[in-house]
Amino acid sequence: MKRLSIISLIIITMLLSACKLFKQPTLEKVHDVKITKFGVDEIDVLLSISIHNPNCYQLKIDKLDVDLLNKDRIKIGSATLQKKVNIPKRRSNALYFSVTLQTRPTAKMVSMSNQSVYFYISGKGHGKVLGFGKKFDFEEPYELNLKEYLEALIPRFQADGQNIFKLKRSYIKELGLSQATMSVDFMLMNPFGLGFNLKGFPAELWLNNTLVGRGNLATQMRFDETIHSKDGSMYFKVSNFKALWSAIKGVIKGEIPYTVKGTVIIDAFGMEIRKPYEYSGSVPVSLSDYLLNKLQGAAMDKALPKPVE
């Protein structure tokens, strides 16, 4: 009986010593936070962190939940360790987590001053050393710079593989003897819920590989997170009337294909973005309408009184 008590005392002493010797794992560093997909509804993020084992024995992490918190400590995304990880004594291991964020709430977090998103990386886990388990936790602030990503994303005019710059109608707004004005009506969508201003789209109008005119937006287009789409127009003054007339003669009554090549100018998150963009369409033109305008113009010229010599 006395011998059993001594053995029990030794075991209790070992347990207490092990608990004291078991040092809590720590977050050594955040290696990277990388956006793998920027979708209309969700943003997929790959999070890479390094966990350090300060113990003299191998550490087995059997559970680790990671949350991303906004500046108000409200959870905006989470992930869970998918399999157990062994970390050698006094070493660190990189762990990877796939986190999904909601697009529109995340877009509201972007700083206007430096195009970054500030959040906290919070973790709660459980590890074992020599069979003895212990809980651990950590929290680390992180700044994700989105400047380069936003500069590429916004003027691309695409979302989930779909074009968000949609042509609605192209037509000859004015057709005279020596000049013409072409109008292009379009719809621009805002599926990501971003706040930006499309303030310009200076562009060239090409017919049959020939530059025939230049144009720009009719008016600027402002978006915020509540605006899902807006209608806009571009006006082009046709200066190369000879090329336009040649194209009209070729179709008699039908449509002329055209290409617009220009630069979109966007104000977003405190920066001005300029990116080349082009699109193609077709404009319906009637040769009979053109000839009628020409005959009417000639008749008007003939009816005008001649100047007195």
Same fold, 25-145 and 155-303: yes
How far apart, in whole angstroms, are the C-alpha atoms of residue 49 and residue 31?
Answer: 5
User: How is domain 155-303 classified at the CATH fold level?
Assistant: Immunoglobulin-like (2.60.40)
What pLDDT band is residue 260 in, cutting at 50, 70 and 90? very high
Q: Round the average pLDDT of the chain to a whole number and report it.
A: 83
CA distances 34 to 43, 45, 153, Å, are 10, 6, 15
> Average pLDDT of 172-195?
86
Instruction: Output the pLDDT for position 63.
Output: 95
Q: What's the predicted TM-score (pTM) here?
A: 0.73
Q: Note the pLDDT tens digit of each residue in 116-168.
A: 999 999 999 999 988 888 899 999 999 998 888 888 888 888 877 788 999 99
Mean pLDDT value of segment 263-289 = 85
Q: Which residue from 72, 61, 82, 33 is spatially nearest to 124, judged by alpha carbons?
A: 61
Domain boundaries, the chain: 25-145, 155-303
Q: What is the pLDDT of residues 192-240, one digit of tens each?
A: 888 999 999 999 999 888 898 999 999 999 999 889 999 999 999 987 6
CATH superfamily of 25-145: Immunoglobulins (2.60.40.10)
Residue 296 class from Cβ within 10 Å (0-12 exposed, 13-18 middle, 19+ buried)? Answer: exposed
Burial annotation 74-112 (CB, 10 A radius, 16+ → b, else e): eebbebebeeebebeeeebbebebebbbebbebbebbee
With contact defined as beta carbons under 8 Å apart, do 249 and 287 qualify? yes
